[in-house]
A and B are shown apart, each in its own frame.
Chain A
Amino acid sequence: MSHDIPKPEEMARINFEPPERDWTETPVIFKPGTYNYPAGKKNVEYLKMPNPHAWAVDDKDWGLPDKWKEKILGGMSDRLEKYRSFSLFMDICVRCGACADKCHFFMGSGDPKNMPVLRAELLRSIYRKNFTVAGKILGSLAGGRELTEDVIKEWYYYFYQCTECRRCSVFCPYGIDTAEITMMGRELLYELGLGINWALEPAANCFRTGNHLGLQPHTFKDNIEFVVDELETATGINAMPSFNRKGAEILFITPSADVFAEPAIYTLMGYLLMFKYLDLDVTFSSYASEGGNFGLFTSHDTIKSLNAKMYHESERLGVKWILGGECGHMWRVVHQYMDTLNGPANHLEVPKSPITGTVFENTRSTKMVHICEFTSDLIKHNKLKLDPRRNRKVIPTFHDSCNPARAMGILEEPRYILRNVCEQFYDMPENTIREQTFCCAGGAGLGNDENMEMRLRGGLPRGNAVAHVRDKHGVNMLACICAIDKATLPPLVEYWAPGVDVCGVHELVGNALVMPGESDERKAGKINLRAQELDDESEGGGDA
């Protein structure tokens, strides 16, 4: 990080007073710690996107291509015809302001351009000026404004200060979804070759190697083998999975962070133990080795391009259906985009649990089941032997990730699992969970270090709700079902709610699972998946 992060008390003194000057006359200031670095030229080139060039945010000249205005306006016109959402949301906002204080970035920064309504107005003002009769005639009186290079810079700043979490869309009386606006804004910026590296490099890597970090097949396999070794140390059980195995019943796809990043690797351990316990006929793929899809943060075409691997690989391997791991935006893509873009998946069968016989009717067409749907069904049918005492040191709360909550609605399944694998469970206040949940402030490609101050600002509402249940109930673990969360929540809770740790739901499943052949230490409940010794001196958990 290139600058000092203010202390929490200082950060929480937020100036909510809007500036004197009209927002159209307030230029954007790129404050270090609050913006993202540009997409590298090689990544723009690799994805064959327009105008690859090297540039920096500090540059006065951002290297816009010739006829850049025409490109933006042409791009807008094209999208107005292709997306009813965009066409409608440009017209019907009444600026009632109900969305204003629903955005975590506005709450944490006080910057009025982070009010969802104003974020959309950044684009709407250009729309009015160029696409509406009133705007063409009356100009600024009708809310129109000229498209200038400063507007492009402003878009870059604020469309990358939105995590596409869709919380505002819950409160909007017309269901205006800022994620749609942001997605269009980002696509338009890509027409000029402008994007952020933290989103585009994973997308480029994923295109080539199948996963965000660019792990090649042997490295992907190595990483899982490493996790398997660690797991064996912690449990005495070898849970080595198979790779690229034709004829398996189920293809399992999880975010690649699960194979290399802490604490996500402990979630992977949980899956592996459970698969072993069930003797599930499941295989991993090195080609479709990424559940996440940074296309969602880039462009609709990139979503399709990256997501295509899931069905493509499931067809090649001849599996019956696909099981998906814990991930947020991956599940938005799977639930709302995959079948439309790359289906119909006629090569697959309607998913049926080989253990319980449950047919997952809600996945009849897409044929992909969420691991929490799968596991909750197992628990309901008493197919897992669980000992919640092994999680006795853990007092969890559950962070609903934006996309599984607001673009899917998987709210009860993970809670049901947590209540069955832990002795205690406490929810955060109702304004901060389920469909009203708060973002980790690092989603949609913003979870990088250079943007840390903005992430922590945006993390205030989530962090504060965690601190609330920590103080009230002794909560010491923030469980979640999203790989981005597992990467971005640890610094957030360390800053706003110290004493609380972050884990995946299936890490806790893995801890509680009573496995045949496990080590004596595990049998006695003295060690968890993180290979931490659980002595009973400090019984009861809570933050130390």
Chain B
Amino acid sequence: MKAITALVAVIVLFAIAYMAGPSAKFVFGVAIPYAALAIFIGGIIYRVAFKWGKAPVPFAIATTCGQQKSHPWIKHSSIENPSTTGGVIVRMALEVLTFRSLFRNTRMSVKDGPRVTYDGEWLLWAAAMAFHWSFLIIVLRHMRFFTEPVPFFVPLLQTVDGFFEIGVPALYLTGAGLLAAVGVLFLRRLLDPHVRYISLAADYFPLFLIMGIAITGILMRHFMKTDIVGVKEMATGLATFQPVVPDGIAPIFFAHMFLVCVLLAYFPFSKLTHMAGVFMSPTRNLRCNSREVRHINPWNHPVRVHTYAEYEDEFRDKMKACDLPVDKQESDEPDKGKAKAKGADKKKKDDDD
């Protein structure tokens, strides 16, 4: 049901742009892209700098995933339990670039006996890697539309990405890869009973949206050709703030671009912010040397403490009776001491002895 709601939403979005795009080309070709980009940038800045960034990290709560640094003769796990900033950078790089933690994933089962087993489970990791890396390369490849001259790495990426030269123009591996990976992630969400149980409409929506973007893109490149020169003119116009929308751009392009705009605008207000959030995760991006270097909490407010003097006031007689040393023979304020002792007596527990 949640999946269907999300699917319907994406289809409606596609239809709107496909039908209205050519006749309202300035709205779909200029106004919406600028608005979406503004929301994307503004939204991410709000989230990173003003929501998460404004909240301090009061405690050094790193999750240590390896041996601490202690004795020089014990091999320290300098990446999984980093004590230096360099170690943290490597840990974060592995996390962001290779999805280190997800790579640990296992599948548990309880067999007869009982016997609990843990098998490696790399499907999620592999699909996530294929998905994110394809997406990144596709975004970079698209720079050929927005830049003039085109940066040197873009044709390089295109060549490598189209290496197998399947079809004319060559099918990009990342385009197919993205679609396949999104398909796996979708099927996993749908078929794994536990993942289905935890899934929200907001989990299916971005999957369908990205599927829609990939499909419209592939359609445009291979099947439903549009005026590529016109598209480049338009994209460069957007990038240089001299927007023009040439005639003759096919409806499929407006649909493709509109879905991208929806993704951009949706991004900062959804779980997709994990892209920015992963860098700020305090269980990963902190050094684990919290006994060596003091971590500062900006709001470390005072709390009620039961001081030694109060303790001794309450228990002085008992301490003296069993030869425990005391700081004072009598309470400075006998009344206060007595009042405290009396108050405490009420709560006295029977397990004293």
Contacts and interface: CB of A to CB of B under 8 A. Distances in A.
Contacts of A286: 319, 324
Interface string A407-436: 111111100100000000000010110111
Interface string B253-289: 0000000000000000111011001101111100011
Interface stretch (B15-23, B136-144, B241-249, B304-312): B304-312
B147 interface: no
Nearest to A108: B110
A245 interface: yes
B195 interface: yes
Nearest to A81: B55
Contact of A340 (B58, B283, B311, B352): B58
B105 A98 contact: yes
Contact of A217 (B77, B299, B318): B318
B291 A413 contact: no
A169 interface: yes
Interface string A190-222: 000000000000001101111001111111011
B81 interface: yes
Contacts of B291: 334-335, 339, 362-366, 368
Contacts of A92: 271, 273-274, 277-278, 281
Given A180-B61, A412-B74, A84 B306 contact: no
A172 to B, nearest CB: 6
B116 A335 contact: no
Kindly list the 5 A-B residue pairs having the minimum CB-CB distance in the complex, ordered from nearest.
A12-B114, A409-B68, A92-B277, A175-B283, A409-B64
Given A97-B195, A373-B71, A83 B270 contact: no
Contacts of A461: 108, 116
Contacts of A357: none
Interface stretch (A270-278, A301-309, A509-517): A301-309
Interface of B: 5, 47, 51-71, 73-75, 77, 80-81, 83, 95, 99, 101-102, 104-108, 110, 113-116, 118, 124, 128, 192-203, 269-271, 273-274, 277-278, 280-284, 288-297, 299-300, 303-308, 311-312, 314-315, 318-319, 321-322, 324-325, 327, 344, 347, 349, 351-353
Contacts of B108: 101-102, 107, 461
A95 B52 contact: no
B110 A14 contact: yes
Contact of B59 (A87, A301, A336, A416): A336
B22 to A, nearest CB: 30
A210 B305 CA distance: 11
Nearest to A85: B282
Given A98-B124, A213-B351, A175 B281 contact: yes
B68 A216 contact: no
A57 B318 CA distance: 39
Interface residues of A, number: 127
A151 interface: no
Name the residue among B192, B198, B271, B299 with the largest chain A CB count within 10 angstroms. Answer: B198
Contacts of A117: 198
A477 interface: no
Given A174-B274, A308-B305, A365-B291, A141 B201 contact: yes
Nearest to A87: B55
B200 A95 contact: yes
B198 A409 contact: no
A74 interface: no
A101 B192 contact: no
A341 to B, nearest CB: 6
Nearest to A337: B59
B199 A413 contact: no
Contacts of A16: 193-194
Contacts of B102: 96, 98, 171, 173
Given A142-B202, A219-B353, A373-B70, A85 B57 contact: yes
B5 A141 contact: yes
A365 B292 contact: yes
A121 B195 CA distance: 13
A350 to B, nearest CB: 10
Contact of A339 (B55, B95, B124, B294): B294
B60 to A, nearest CB: 5
A522 interface: no
Nearest to B64: A409
Contact of B351 (A214, A217, A365): A214
B101 A380 contact: no
Contacts of A180: 61
Contacts of B198: 23, 95, 97, 100, 112, 115, 117-118, 121
B349 to A, nearest CB: 5
A84 B297 CA distance: 12
